[in-house]
Amino acid sequence: MHLALDATPKKTSYAEERLDALLSITGRMDGYLYRCRNDQSYTMLYISDGISNISGYPSDDFIQNKVLEYVSVIHPDDLERVFASVNTALEAKRNWNVDYRIVPNFGRAVWVREIGGGVFNDAGELVFLEGFVIDISDRKLIEDSNAYLLTQLKDLNELLSAQKRELQLAKQKSDHSANHDTLTGLPNRRAFHNQLKLAMDESRSTNVPVGLLFIDLDRFKEVNDTLGHESGDSLLQHVSGQLQTMLRNTDYVARLGGDEFAFLLFGDPELTRETAGMVAQRIVEKLRIDVPSPTGVIRVGCTVGVALYPADASDPKGLLALADRLMYVGKKGGRNRLVTVSELAAA
């Protein structure tokens, strides 16, 4: 009897095709797939052969937890983080994605990345945990290297920023020292000349006159000679404080040197001369200071020369020279007063 052989290929089901494909893909992975029960020991139902490449243990050792529980090969320092990630994901019924180390039976720990999720039945009960795990050691090395480089770069940027701030602060201090009087803190002669030029430039564009008050203390030398330079310095500091209390937003006061000060102001084009005279008179009154001394009270005062740009002078040097000259006229005329161009013309 001859048996007829069926040469027709046996048809495979879609499920079998999927399983074959899954097993084929798994065999090419640098990793493994797994499914375990939701019980106290997470009994492993399936784990692909890739686990042996990473852990050094055959996959059969893990099936039904025959030799090893899977958690036993997770690095102990990572266990808490892995459990926290899985539990948080399960509570939210979403996938977890966590990196951790596998401790193989050879060499050093291997970094892996696990992406997994829970399988729930129709009643919403958690039945299985499953996922796939891939070797990310090379990627982790690069990531750690990049993280280290980024940290170094951040530290370097912070160092450079700190150095930049120090340089800016040093420059600010240098600029301040170069433009301010160390005793009174007021702008110095250099800063005043720059400000006077700027004021004149602005005056030319706005047609608003500039008033300059040249201030010289009366009897300052007597304070120095009688009470000493420390008392003279204290007097200059007091004077500078008094002058600063009179400043408006657009006004400017500086110490030119010794007991000489300068006060710049702007005003209404029709009233600048009147305003300058009023401010000068207030300064004269404000700087009437009685200084006690062993020989009696030294009555300090000041004399102020008042000049305007462009009415009285056409440039910074000329305006300053005129105000200085008016101040000396006042000194010769009795001190403790202000002098304007009109008085000079009358003289």
The 10s digit of each residue's pLDDT in 89-138 is 999 999 999 999 999 998 889 999 999 999 999 999 999 999 999 999 88
Residue 263 has what pLDDT?
96
- Asked if the structure places residue 161 within a domain, the reply is no
For residue 336, pLDDT beyond 80: yes
**Residues 206 and 87 grouped into a single domain:** no
Residue 183 amino acid letter: L
φ/ψ of 58, rounded to 5, equals -65, 150
- Contacts of residue 38, Cβ cutoff 8 Å, sequence gap at least 6: 118, 126, 127, 128, 129
User: What range defines the domain where residue 223 resides?
Assistant: 189-346
Q: What is the dihedral sign for C-alpha 60, 63, 64, 67?
A: positive
For residue 7, pLDDT beyond 90: no
**Residues 57 and 203 grouped into a single domain:** no
Residue 347 has what pLDDT?
56
- Asked if the structure places residue 167 within a domain, the reply is no
φ/ψ of 344, rounded to 5, equals -65, -40
In 3D space, the residue among 247, 275, 250, 276 whose CA is nearest the CA of residue 186 turns out to be: 247
* Catalytic residue (one of 155, 259, 268, 290): 259
For residue 15, pLDDT beyond 80: no
Residue 157 has what pLDDT?
85
φ/ψ of 312, rounded to 5, equals -105, -20
**Residues 208 and 121 grouped into a single domain:** no
**Residues 218 and 297 grouped into a single domain:** yes
- What is the total count of domains within the chain? 2
**Residues 228 and 83 grouped into a single domain:** no
Residue 4 has what pLDDT?
46
- Asked if the structure places residue 159 within a domain, the reply is no
Rounded CA-CA distance 333/341 in Å is 14
**Residues 100 and 205 grouped into a single domain:** no
**Residues 97 and 40 grouped into a single domain:** yes
- Asked if the structure places residue 184 within a domain, the reply is no
Q: 34 - beta bridge partners?
A: 47, 131
Q: pLDDT class for 11, splitting at 50, 70, 90? A: low
- Asked if the structure places residue 117 within a domain, the reply is yes
For residue 1, pLDDT beyond 60: no
- Asked if the structure places residue 97 within a domain, the reply is yes
**Residues 118 and 213 grouped into a single domain:** no
Buried-state track 265-274, b at ≥16 Cβ within 10 A, e below 16? bbbeeeebbe
Rounded CA-CA distance 308/341 in Å is 9
pTM of the predicted structure, to 2 decimals: 0.55
Q: What is the DSSP letter of 293?
A: -
Q: What is the dihedral sign for C-alpha 13, 14, 17, 19?
A: negative
- Asked if the structure places residue 7 within a domain, the reply is no
**Residues 137 and 194 grouped into a single domain:** no
Q: What is the dihedral sign for C-alpha 190, 192, 198, 200?
A: negative
The verdict on whether 77 is a catalytic residue reads: no
pLDDT in tens, 254-308: 999 999 999 999 877 778 889 999 999 999 999 999 999 998 999 999 999 999 9
- Asked if the structure places residue 235 within a domain, the reply is yes
For residue 166, pLDDT beyond 90: no
**Residues 64 and 194 grouped into a single domain:** no
The verdict on whether omega for the bond into residue 76 sits within 30 degrees of 0, i.e. cis, is no
Alpha helices, H only, the chain: 14-28, 50-55, 76-92, 137-179, 189-206, 220-227, 229-244, 272-286, 316-332, 341-346
**Residues 324 and 223 grouped into a single domain:** yes
In 3D space, the residue among 30, 35, 45 whose CA is nearest the CA of residue 111 turns out to be: 30
Judged by DSSP in three states, 234 sits in: helix
Token duo for residue 173 = 């201090």
Residue 36 and residue 117 in contact, taking contact as beta carbons nearer than 8 Å: no
**Residues 95 and 213 grouped into a single domain:** no
Rounded CA-CA distance 67/47 in Å is 13
Which residue reads 């399988």 in tokens?
119
Q: What is the largest CA-CA distance in the chain?
A: 156
- Report the CATH number at residue 246: 3.30.70.270
Task: Compute the radius of gyration of the chain from its Cα atoms.
Answer: 46
φ/ψ of 139, rounded to 5, equals -65, -40
Residue 3 has what pLDDT?
44
Token duo for residue 141 = 């090395």
- Report the CATH number at residue 55: 3.30.450.20
| Average of per-residue pLDDT values in the chain | 89
